[in-house]
Amino acid sequence: MLMLLLSAVVHATPTIIEVPPGQVAPPGAAPLFRPAPRRAPKAFSALGLDRLHRIESGMVPTHFRAWTDPRGWPMATPSDPYLSWQWGLSNDGSFSEDAQAGADIQAFDAWDIETGSGVVIAVLDSGIAVDEPELSSLLWTNRGEIAGNRIDDDGNGYVDDVLGWNFAGNDASPTDHSGHGSNVTGIAAAQGNNGTGFSGVCWGCEVMTLRVLNNQDYGYYSWWSAAVVYAVDNGADVINMSLGGYTEDIPLCLALEYAEAAGVPVVVSMGNSDDDTPAVPASCATAIAVGATDVSDARATPFDWGGGSAYGDHIFLSAPGSVIYSLDRNPGDYRWYWSGTSQAAPHVTGLIALLKSMEPSLDADELRYYLSAGAEDEVGDPAEDTPGWDAYHGHGRINAYQSLLLLEADQADADEDGYSILNGDCDDTNPDIAPDAVERCDELDSDCDGSLLDGFSDRDEDGRPDCLDDLDGDGVDARTDCDDTDPNVSPDAEEIPYDSIDNDCDPSSLDDDLDEDGFSIALDCDDDDPERSPSAIERCDGVDNDCDAEIDEDAVDGVVLYAAPDGDGYGDPSQSRRGCAPDADWVEDASDCDSTDPAVQASSTWYPDFDGDGQGDPAHPLSHCGQPADYVANNADCDDQRVGPCDPKGGCSTVESQGVQLLGWAALLAVCARRRQTER
């Protein structure tokens, strides 16, 4: 973090701790610090309390443990040889004695999703080492400008600004003078997977170099404001400002607002004062202010040189910022690390660049969401890192992998309605909710326009459509209440006949005649069918046409049926009705003369029993309804004309048979008649 003292700006020459061969840096060693007062309104210390340290190649300092054996790298993990020193990217707990595994931004997993491309990071700092192989292939170039012709070819007000601009020297040479800018730039965007040096968080992004600090390590607000505007106007996607001061300045904050309006987030370091003194531009309303964490995920206090990460109500989140190895102003020199919130900010800047690589349309507010939603909370000192946002860690320490996962999920169309969260779907779990859906009267914003009122009235101006209100206080809102001004009308009410009101919202009243057949709902058995009413003619159609609760009775198109209650299949001609088809009780035959006796019907056959022996003569059957006198139902008599001794109980004896043969039937009957008369 670059610190400002307005009346007396304190700047410092970076103090180097030389580690002789065979030795390590002594524990607790404090670098020399030489203050040099300078009066300059709106001036800033370039390095302030950010400190620089150097180690000799092959040595193991107190702050880290180097890997000396070659390693293979799975998946998207880059092959850069000093990657193991970059604990902020991946911390396995071996960096130092107090290192905590997992206290990192989980960059290796994030790189399996995105390594960055097509995004320009503007770094406002002390410049960069333009010949550094880790950066040279990533430098942004102004394609509208021709180098060295001393002409402002693109008309942007800056001559020969091919690689950016030096606002401190007012020229086109953004070369680093201190190493601070190179360190910051390397953290954000050093070329990864190239077998050299380190890896930046977004190791496929371009870098726009804007030098805003002079050789005395301070800069003016006006330089910074102009650089912010330059970055926005020339295509930067994100701006890093690892610097700051303690004097409020409206123009500088307005420059940050200009960037915000253009969708370009500005990431600023909180400062290293170890207190809640607000720094500028970190305290500007639109700044993404970043605090620093150490290898154990605690707020970095003190740093290895002293001081500590500043805190306050303007902090947004935090990132690794203690003992951060990165590039130097001398190309190919990878022995330097810095500590401060200046190193925390570019971790966040690099993550924003990864997010923008995945989804270029993200604006500053959307980027803040993915940063904060993916951050890890409650990982530091419990007294400081409390649940949710707090003044020491903000929303937490960033986790690049989690932020990219969230964005990846929002890019998907989970409910397959043709829209994802990112292109307007406000609920990607419900296919009925999408930007092209029709707004319904419910508690949901169906068309995702932020309003429930589309096409609906809001008489009480509560932001909810009237159809969701219960205006008459009957316990039913207007979605189902057909008259929400009348408490006697609701789906729970009882219908009242002949009041011309649909009391129960069914949706008709009992005195309505919906089918216009002359009968209201109260009298009509089906008020949707004009062919059914109390005056309708019953027909053979399986329907109660005349509303008498009987189906097909006396149908006009039926047949005459006769009652057959005895079940003999023959009907009583005195009991008839019209029906559509015969059944067990009603038949078409009307020849039954006794409907109480199934054995008696018009087709009964009787046999004569003239000799009175109970046996009928089969030779003389008689069809008759009912049993005639001297007739029986059986036909078992072998000779019903014999007389013999005129014994009515006699059988067919030879004598009787002979009598019949001698006298004949007529004489025999006469004899029998006289005998019977005599016997009486």
Catalytic residues: 125, 180, 342
Count CB-CB contacts under 10 A for residue 573: 15
* C-alpha to C-alpha distance for 308 and 224, rounded to whole angstroms: 25
Helix axes 400-411, 364-374, angle to 10 degrees: 120
Identify whether the C-beta of residue 325 lies closer than 8 Å to the C-beta of residue 86: yes
608: CB partners within 8 A, 6+ apart:
616, 617, 620, 622, 630, 631, 640
Residue 238 to residue 260: CA distance in whole angstroms: 10
How far apart are alpha carbons 163 and 184 in whole angstroms?
A: 17
* Residue 293: closest CA among 380, 189, 184: 380
Tokens of 310: 């500043």
For 606, residues 6+ apart whose C-beta sits below 8 A from its C-beta are 616, 621, 622, 623, 624, 627, 628, 631, 632, 633
Please tell me the distance from the alpha carbon of residue 277 to that of residue 290, in angstroms, as a whole number: 14
CA distance 305 to 32: 10
Q: How far apart are CA 599 and CA 633, in angstroms?
A: 11
Residue 631 Cα distances to 616, 627, 634, 650, 657, angstroms: 7, 7, 9, 18, 22
Q: Looking up tokens 């397959």, which residue turns up?
A: 416
CA 23 to chain CA mean position, Å: 58
Phi-psi region of 143 (alpha: psi -120 to 50; beta: other; left: phi over 0): alpha
Distance (Å, whole) CA 540 – CA 611: 56
Backbone angles phi, psi at 232, to 5 degrees: -65, -45
Are 477 and 468 spatial neighbours (Cβ–Cβ below 8 Å)?
A: yes
Residues 61, 62, 64, 68, Cα dihedral to 10°: 40
Residues in a beta bridge with 120:
206
The DSSP secondary structure of 84-126, one letter per residue, reads GG-TTT---S-SSTT--TT-S--HHHHHTT----S-EEEEEES
Whole-number Å distance between alpha carbons of 438 and 85: 56
Question: Cα separation of 371 and 186, whole Å?
Answer: 21
Phi, psi of 223 (to 5 degrees): -65, -45
245 neighbors 361 (Cβ within 8 angstroms): no
